Amino acid sequence: MLKGIPKILSPELLKVLAEMGHSDRIVIGDGNFPAESMGKNAIVIRMDGHGVPEILDAILQLFPLDAYVEHPVNLMEVMPGDTVETPIWETYKEIIAKHDDRGADAVGTIERFAFYEEAKKAYAVIATGESALYANVILQKGTI
């Protein structure tokens, strides 16, 4: 056991977060996200029993967001014509504001298929049990 480390962060995930360098990206995918196919060239970490907000909050306690890009946090845009509501995005913005002075300004959106292309370039992908739709997040690591 370690002091000060959120219990939700497994040794495997801690190792990945420590290995990542400036500008590396990690995806936190919802339960519908194709983690295994998007993560063919990445490290895939299974966290099926957990939701994205609790994982996001735990990661951001240790993980600096990139200060050199406008949006170090990116969400998957809702497809045109899709009537899905995304209240979880507000939860994300509240969590981000706790850990980064830019708050909601650090958050951008990426069109769905462009999001998939960016996800394929990620260092790691976390597969969660999150049931909210459009709950996928890409985080870009900064420096301390």
Whether 22 is a known active-site residue: answer yes
Given the residues 50, 71, 99, 116, select the one marked as catalytic: 116
Whether 92 is a known active-site residue: answer no
**SS3 label, residue 100:** coil
Question: Which residues, including other chains, have CB under 8 Å from residue 84's CB and lie 6 or more apart?
Answer: 78, 133, 134
The angle at the Cα of 116, spanning 20 to 38, to the nearest 5 degrees, equals 65
**Half-sphere exposure (Cβ direction) of 31: Cα atoms closer than 13 Å:** 9
Whether 99 is a known active-site residue: answer no
Given the residues 66, 100, 123, 134, select the one marked as catalytic: 66
Residues tagged active-site: 22, 66, 116
